[in-house]
Structure 1
Amino acid sequence: MKTFALKLYDFYNYIFDSSKNPLRHIPDPVSRFYIMTILSIMWSITFAAYLGSIVYFGISLAAHIILLLMFFFTMAVFYDAEKNNTSWLIKLRQNNSK
C-alpha cells in the first residue's frame, strides 16, 4: 500500500509539481490551487457537453474536485514526511531504489 502511495506521489510530482509545470511562475500556492480548481471545472463542463447531459456535469465536477483535493492532500502528507525525514519514507525510497 505504501508503494502505491509513493507511486501516486511520484505521479503527482510529474504532473502537478509547481517546480515543473507552467504554473511554477505563480508565486502564491493558493492562487495555483485556485487555477487548478478552475481548470477542473472547465474540464467537467467539457465532459458534460461531450456526453450531452448537464446531469453528468455535477458528477464530473465532483469527481474532478475530489481527485484534485486528494492529489493535494497526498502531496502535502509526503512533502511533510520528506521535510521531517520520516523514517518509513526514507526506508521505502531505499527499498524501491534497489
Structure 2
Amino acid sequence: MKKLGLWIYDFYTYIFDSSKNPLRHIPDPPSRMFIMMILAFMWSGAFAVYLGSIAYFGISIAAHIILLLMFFFTAAVFYDAEKNQSSWLLKLRKDQRK
C-alpha cells in the first residue's frame, strides 16, 4: 500500500511540480506558470466535454486556476526566502533534518 501511495505522489509531483516536470527547462518561472495555466484551461475543457456539460467548465477552470496560483505563490515565497537566506526557512530546514 505504501508503494502505491509513493507512486501516486511521484506521479502527482511529476505532473504538477514545474521544477520536476519537463517545464523545468524553461528558466522563467512566470512563463512556466502561464503554460501550466493554459494546460489547466485545456484540461478543464476536456473534462467538461467528457462530463457532457458546459456548466462544469467554469467550475473546473476556477478550481484549476486557484490551485495553480496558490502553488506558484507558495513556490515564489520559498524561492524568495531561500534567495534572501531568511531565518524562518533556515530553521525549517534545520528542523526537517532532525
TM-score normalised by L of structure 1? 0.74
> Which blocks of at least 5 consecutive residues in structure 1 are unaligned?
1-10
The sequence identity of aligned pairs, in percent, is 72
TM-score normalised by L of structure 2? 0.74
Question: Which residue of the partner structure matches residue 46 of structure 1?
Answer: 46
Q: Whole-Å Cα distance in 2 between the matches of residues 79 and 28 of structure 1?
A: 13
Q: How does 1:5-44 map to 2 (within 5 A)?
A: 15-17=17-19, 20-44=20-44
Distance 1:88 1:30, change over 3 A: closer
**Aligned 8 A contact 2:44 2:64 in 1:** yes
Q: Which has the higher contact order (CA 8 A, sep 6+)?
A: 1
Question: Which residue of the partner structure matches residue 56 of structure 2?
Answer: 56
Q: Can you list the C-alpha shifts for 1:49-84, whole angstroms capped at 9, x where unaligned?
A: 222211010000011011111111000011111111
**Aligned 8 A contact 2:81 2:89 in 1:** yes
Question: Which residue of the partner structure matches residue 6 of structure 2?
Answer: none
RMSD: 2.1
Corresponding pairs, count: 85
Large movers: runs of 4+ above 4 Å: none
